[in-house]
Amino acid sequence: MRHEPLDPKLFTENRSRLAKLLPPKSVAVLNANDILPTNADGSLLMRANSDLFYLTGVEQEETLLVIFPDADDEKLREVLFVREPNAQNELWEGHKLTKDEAQKLTGIRAVKWTQDFWSVFRRLACEAEHVFLNTNEHKRAADEVETRDDRFIRDVRERFPVHDLRRLAPLLHSLRLVKSARETEAISRACQLTEKGFRRVLKFTKPGRTETDVEAEFAHEFIRGRGRFAYEPIVAGGKNACCLHYQENSAELKAGQLLLLDVGASCANYNSDMTRTIPVSGKFSRRQRQIYHAVLRVLHASTNSLRPGLLPKSWQKEAEAHMTEELLELGLLKPRDVKKQPADSDTPAVKKYFMHGLGHPIGLDVHDVGDTTKPMQSGWVMTVEPGIYIPEENLAVRLENTVVVTDGEPINLMADIPIEADEIEELMTK
């Protein structure tokens, strides 16, 4: 692994929390992700299965975890199965976990080779009353590609056709949505690396550079810090920023433009998510500054309103109401635009200029799993990202921080990343 190992107590605690949610006589199984192919004999880099990493810290293919808190044999209440190393695969693919290394990494005492899985699992499944299997149940997940979990579920159905099979994802989602102090610290480290990249870019950006050049500056800082991009970065100058998921990142930056940077670092698989909008020439125009401050006011207000018990959809509506007032002040909306919209409209006038969600949970996944139809709780980590997009003026402003919901004041994990217009101008022109 590129990153420093996390404290195995994190994974031990997470497994303990999951075990408490399982009904009596329940066994749960989790799989690693596949290594996905490209063309010819190529393959993509291994990306850890977030749920498996949450419970073990393992990032190796062909890994399985079995949790059976009520197993008669105490040594089989937690079992990790890993691919057995051999000289051939280590020659071509690199080092694989030994049993001792897997024990130290995960805190799991019973480590076996993957080829032993079915014999052990049959013994446990026959003893269990319920079998919990995992799938990706994010409501916006793409499901065109068959996953290792899909194949495993089919195998279990064929081998144990009369067993009671249940969904593990809802239990894991409820746990992963509320971050522990150890997880929040990991996200904070990713935010600190994002800050280093952003400060580097502030010194670098000027007319004549390209969006590609700017992306490379972030990459230099992230890789040097033993991290990576949390997601494909958006580096969008001028009108390009009006495309919400712009990723071409190739255009030349022009004097007078704004540059939107939606970039976050990932450290130890925990992610950050930041957006800043900066003037390519180092100074905001009067109009740019007006729009910038309007977005910044909504960002601050929406951050301050984060609290346990607040429904995410109510938080969104509060932000849209605030943004409507800002758009009226800017002259982008007219009072008649707001008056003529139905009270229960799905497309209020504000959506013309602020058309996306205000924020999302973040953690091991950038758009982290969890039931966001329920009220927020202390320990949620949320992004806050209002924006105004004006294609006819060839500009857009979006600002985003990563914030922890607490029983007291929300904690902005990006408080040290410059965001005030004056500070950004000072750093760019120093």
Element (H, E) at 402: strand 401-404
pLDDT bracket for residue 4 (50, 70, 90): confident
| Cα–Cα separations (whole angstroms), residue 407 to 13, 123, 184 | 22, 45, 15
| Cα–Cα separations (whole angstroms), residue 228 to 11, 118, 289, 424 | 22, 36, 32, 24
| The model scores a pTM over 0.85 | yes
pLDDT digits (tens, 9 = 90+) for 11-57: 999 999 999 999 999 999 999 999 998 999 899 988 999 999 999 99
pLDDT bracket for residue 3 (50, 70, 90): confident
CA 165, CA 25: separation in Å to the nearest integer? 13
The alpha carbon torsion through 280, 284, 285, 290 (nearest 10 deg) reads: 130
Structure tokens at 200: 């580097």
For tokens 């409820």, name the residue.
174
* Domains and their CATH numbers in the chain: 8-177 (3.40.350.10), 181-429 (3.90.230.10)
Decide if 274 contacts 263 (C-beta within 8 A). Answer: yes
Q: Write out the DSSP string of 115-169.
A: GGHHHHHHHHHHH-SEEEE-----TT---SSPPHHHHHHHHHHHHSTTSEEEE-H
DSSP state, 37?
A: B
* pLDDT value for 5: 87
Mean confidence (pLDDT) of the chain:
96
Decide if 132 contacts 97 (C-beta within 8 A). Answer: no
- Asked if pLDDT for residue 345 goes beyond 80, the answer is no
Stretch 264-278: mean pLDDT, rounded? Answer: 98
For tokens 């105004």, name the residue.
388
- Asked if pLDDT for residue 142 goes beyond 90, the answer is no
pLDDT digits (tens, 9 = 90+) for 375-412: 999 999 999 999 999 999 999 999 999 999 999 999 99
Decide if 385 contacts 398 (C-beta within 8 A). Answer: yes
CA 381, CA 394: separation in Å to the nearest integer? 33
- Please, what sign has the CA dihedral across residues 193, 199, 204, 208? positive
For tokens 């509506």, name the residue.
317
CA 390, CA 258: separation in Å to the nearest integer? 12
SS3 426: helix
Decide if 65 contacts 29 (C-beta within 8 A). Answer: yes
**Burial label, 186 (beta-carbon count in 10 A; 0-12, 13-18, 19+):** buried
Sorted by sequence, the CB contacts under 8 Å of residue 141 that are 6+ apart come out as none
Stretch 258-285: mean pLDDT, rounded? Answer: 98
Q: What φ, ψ does residue 394 adopt, rounded to 5°?
A: 60, 40
Q: Name the amino acid, one letter, at 94.
A: G
Structure tokens at 387: 């924006």
* pLDDT value for 143: 79
CA 360, CA 383: separation in Å to the nearest integer? 5
Q: Name the amino acid, one letter, at 105.
A: L
CA 113, CA 414: separation in Å to the nearest integer? 42
CA 125, CA 122: separation in Å to the nearest integer? 5
- Taking alpha carbons only, the member of 26, 23, 13 closest to residue 66 is 26
* pLDDT value for 341: 81
